[in-house]
Amino acid sequence: MKTVLVLIFMGLSNICMATQTLEENLGKEAKFTLIKEKSRTNYMIKSGKSLLKVADIKRMEDGIEYQVNWKYDVLVKWAGKRAGTIKLMMPGEVFSDSFWSNLQDGAIRTSNLTMTYIANKSSVTVNNKTYEDCNIIKIDDVRDSNLHALEKVLKVKAIELGLIDENNFREEKVENIEIEAVTHKDGPVMGVLQWTIQGDVKGYSIKMGFDLI
């Protein structure tokens, strides 16, 4: 009986420790600023900022997932301020040491997105700090995440470029919405150093790029 009680106590202790480890990541956040490089941001985006924050832990059928909220606030030429929040459900192991090697072995899917390893990048400099041996990843197939808010921003820019008629604003679709991120193990909140968000309207790519500050 004593042995059984010890095993039960050890099991409960391990569960508590695992839960505590998961909860340690809650509230972590990283701030970003818009980068006006032509290769990453269309000219009509005048300024902007964004925030990544680990907002919640969700217990899904396939395991634990972190809800990471991406909040953006941008100033669009002729259209004014545009802001919104995109919910990204990240795998529970995203903060583990083995996550990046697992991602290189194949795409990882969560309840509302797909993460894919693209390539290694020798170095990236953000906020006057250089990070070496970085990973480039892609996040796409985002579902149930308030993406209509981002889609509206991209449509506004498409109108300014003359790609769509303002009268057909609701009918036009933004396709292939995806996020490309440069990450590093020493970066905050999933190691993200840079984000570039883009979508296609009538074959034209519309982008917004942010760097860690």
Question: By C-alpha distance, which of 158, 159, 165 is closest to 203?
Answer: 158
pLDDT tens digits along 155-169: 665 666 665 555 554
- Between 32 and 12, the higher pLDDT residue: 32
Question: By C-alpha distance, which of 116, 117, 115, 135 is closest to 192?
Answer: 135
- Residue 119: strand, helix, or coil: strand
- Between 207 and 172, the higher pLDDT residue: 207
Average pLDDT score, the chain: 81
Whether pLDDT at 121 is above 90: yes
pLDDT tens digits along 50-100: 999 999 999 988 889 999 999 989 888 777 787 888 889 999 999 988 898
Whether pLDDT at 184 is above 90: yes
Exposure string of 57-90, with b = 16+ CB inside 10 Å and e = fewer, is: eeeeeeeebbbbbbbbebbbeebeebebbbbbbb
Structure tokens at 114: 């797909």
Question: What whole-number percentage of the chain has pLDDT above 90?
Answer: 45
What is the residue type of 173? Answer: K
203 — pLDDT class (breaks 50, 70, 90): low
